[in-house]
Structure 1
Amino acid sequence: MPSVPADVPAIRSALLGWYDVHARTLVWRAPPGSRGRPDPYRVWLSEVMLQQTTTPHATPYFLKFTERWPTVSDLAAAEDADVMAAWAGLGYYARARNLLACARAVAGGHGGVFPDTEAGLLALPGVGAYTAAAVAGIAFGEAANVVDGNVERVMARLFAVETPVPTARPELRALAGSLVRDERPGDWAQALMDLGATVCRPKSPLCGDCPLTTWCAGYAGGQPERYPLKLKKAERPRRSGVAWVLRDEQGRVALVRRPDKGLLGGMLGLPTSDWSAAPDTIPPVDADWREAGFVEHVFTHFSLTLDVRTGEGTGDFVWTPVEQALGALPTVFRKALERGLGAFSG
């Protein structure tokens, strides 16, 4: 593993000084150097939402959640369906189920108060190593090692790590940990994340604006963008399926509640075939089904092509007004519904 420079205090001083001036203003964040601790609920909620989601996309969801459920106990008391509907569009829906499980554990087992240590947070359902460290460091001032993708990239470039990710992750985590100190742990964690998000970007890093170029081995070697090295990704499998857009005489849309376990578990969706190389195309009810075209969607582990078909009829479904359906459906089903509605109007 690359050696840690002796002047860690100088590195920390440079980055924290930069953060004091250039910290992003985020709705869930306390300003740099704040004396009061941020609300652990808001820190935890934001960190869960930001997993696999960009800050601009997560922000309106965070505001909506905290307005509707201002405390963790409020969230714990919410109906599953309401939370899943409010989450629609954020993706990675297992996060919403984990969110509820954790909120209910905090409300029921901890009196509505989050544990104030990394170990205590890690014991909560649905809380992984990153989230536990982030909440412990930012909300409770524990000297936790908070490592996300931005921090991994900063470490890979700062130390010119030649091991490709994901193999390098333990090494990158250890390097990040070597820079953690008791002083301003929350600001330190957020400073590293901000540096990676705004300056040490995946492409075209703004090295001229970086406070760490003096110590950066990637910059000294003239190829900072080369890091982190990555193994070649396997090609994403492709699946297909059929989505059925069924309307009744009142113009409502037929929706179904998906099983709790599995992809998009617990969410409302359109009636659909299985998603596979050779899906079953038997419709959910008899109707005069018409072709409406195709939509494409990319999940983490596969790409999906949905053949959208429209019809009018009745049946045992969750009949939902169109505008309400558009607001409650996950993105893949919203795309299919919009395609189907276009066929109806055409």
Structure 2
Amino acid sequence: MMALRLFHYPLPILFVALIFFTIPFLNFFATAALYDLSQRWDHVFDRIQPLQYFLSALSLVIAYGLIAKKKFGYYLFLLFSIVLASYNLWMVAWVSLGKKLFLAGIRLQTPDIIWNAVFTAVILGAIFYFLRKEISAPYLSGLQRGWRGGYRETHPVPFHWTNVDGEREGDGYTINVSGSGALIPLPQHHFLKEGDPINLHLKLENEKREIIPISVKGTIVRLDREADGTDLAGITYEFQVAQKEEKEEFLKFLTRVFAPRYPVSNKIEAGKNLPGESTGELVNISTEGLYIKSDTVYEMGELISVKILTRSGPIFLKGIVRWSNPNARYGKPVGYGLQIESAENMNHFRIWVWKQRFRIFHGR
């Protein structure tokens, strides 16, 4: 079963994971060849340096993290790269000062050290590029099966789906949407399977809050099941050539709703008429929306007044509840997401949001 699942992994992920899995073995045999210990394998371990042990162990953990779709796998790769790059920079700097470096009794020449540093940088840069490309795609999403590098906020877009022959259909709200696909909940007894074509009808809102219907054909690339038994379908879009305007409108919508969000922890007051009906804490904020952690969860579609407490004074906003999350689903605490409708002082609010981008410790 695991072997079959590997066929669904992106090739760059599998290739990079294989590279890191083989590093300890390559390290062992390279050391044996360097010291001519092909007949005395038990002596090889005495020749391996502490840094080599560290990087070998780290590479195995990285390989596991990538295959298991864990966040730490990517972060440890970054650590691996920093350590290896720093070591190469140290060697270049050392020989540049006229110092000598030896390996197995042989002096390392400056051109060889520089060439090795450049080669290492190119390889690590290529791995970084392809990993970032994949972790920003559905492979590593915000669900339990992994994570997503590019920030992707859960966003509910009303949709209606039908299968290719129109015999089965369903309605709901998307969980995640992107420029290439969507994650949607399915009703019971949907009888869909991976590889099935599907017709997706989305209802988007433009800047004027006007509904713009978008219809797109797609293919089911993944089916998951949550702990509560809800089936989820990962869909990849297949916009046709004649749908150029629809696709552009869709991408404009995504650009607006997925404005960069920044983690914050400011206290807030909220209410249907005036702030003060409930309290909570901001989780993230953008110029287009925010997520509030609160024991009081408002219903979708309600207009809410919010007072954000900041050191420079309170900020008053009004927003429409676009996501009600009383069960703490999809990696978010109990609370609700707002789409911002207006601000008492929009310029003040935008400047405050912009400042969050440069904070090391986010908060008030």
TM-score normalised to structure 2 length: 0.22
**Larger Rg computed on CA atoms:** 2
Structure with greater proportional strand content: 2
TM-score normalised to structure 1 length: 0.23
- Structure with more relative contact order (C-alpha pairs < 8 Å, separation 6 or more): 1
